[in-house]
Amino acid sequence: MAKIIGAIGSSHIPAIGVAIAKKIQETPYWKNFFDGFAPVHDWLAKEKPDVAIVFYNDHGLEFFLDKKPTFSIGAAKEYISYDEGWGIDTIPPVIGDEDLSWHICNELVEDEFDITICQELGIDHGLTVPMQLMWPGNAYSHMKVIPVVINCEQHPMPSLKRCFDLGRSIGKAVESYDKDLKVVVLGTGGLSHQLDGQRAGLINREFDTMCMDKLVNDPEELFKYSIRDITEIAGSQGVELNMWMGMRGALSGKVTELHRNYVIPISNTGAGTMLLSHEPVSKK
Partner 1 sequence: MSYLDNKTPIPGTIMFDGSKARKGYGLNKMCYSLNDQSARDEFASDEMAYCEKFGLTEGQKEAIKNRDVIGLLEQGGSIYFLAKFTGGLGLNMQDIGAIQTGMTVEEFRAKLVKAGE
Nearer to partner 1, 145 or 227 (CB): 227
Residue 155 catalytic? no
Angle between helix 205-217 and helix 227-234 axes, rounded to 10 deg: 140
Among 22, 142, 205, 254, which residue sits at the site for partner 1 (rule: CB under 8 A)?
205
DSSP 3-state assignment of 266?
strand
**Residues between 214 and 243 that touch partner 1 (CB under 8 A):** 226-229, 231-232, 236
Residue 193 catalytic? yes
Site string for partner 1, 43-62 (x = CB under 8 A): ----------------xxx-
Contact assessment for residue 107 and residue 173, using Cβ atoms and an 8 Å cutoff: yes
Per CB under 8 A, does 22 bind partner 1? no
Site string for partner 1, 255-284 (x = CB under 8 A): --------xxx-xx-x--------------
Per CB under 8 A, does 149 bind partner 1? no
Contact assessment for residue 131 and residue 17, using Cβ atoms and an 8 Å cutoff: no
E strands in 11-64? 51-56
Nearer to partner 1, 265 or 280 (CB): 265
How near is the Cβ of 120 to partner 1 at its closest, in Å? 15
**Residues between 74 and 113 that touch partner 1 (CB under 8 A):** 82-87
Please give the C-alpha separations between residue 173 and each of 58, 83, 234, 251, in angstroms, as whole numbers.
Answer: 24, 33, 31, 12
User: Buried b / exposed e across 175-193, counting CB within 10 Å, b at 16+?
Assistant: bebeeebebbbbbbbbbbb
Nearer to partner 1, 251 or 263 (CB): 263
Please give the C-alpha separations between residue 86 and each of 18, 82, 123, 193, 207, in angstroms, as whole numbers.
Answer: 11, 11, 15, 20, 31
Among 77, 142, 155, 254, which residue sits at the site for partner 1 (rule: CB under 8 A)?
155
**Contacts with partner 1: how many residues (CB under 8 A)?**
41
How would you classify the pairing of strands 269-279 and 3-10?
A: antiparallel
DSSP 3-state assignment of 116?
strand
Per CB under 8 A, does 156 bind partner 1? yes
How near is the Cβ of 164 to partner 1 at its closest, in Å? 17
Q: Which amino acid, 203?
A: I
Rounded to the nearest angstrom, the gap between the alpha carbon of residue 121 and the centroid of all alpha carbons in its chain is: 16
- Binding residues for partner 1, rule: CB under 8 A, are 15, 59-61, 64-65, 82-87, 153-156, 194-205, 226-229, 231-232, 236, 263-265, 267-268, 270
Catalytic residues: 125, 193
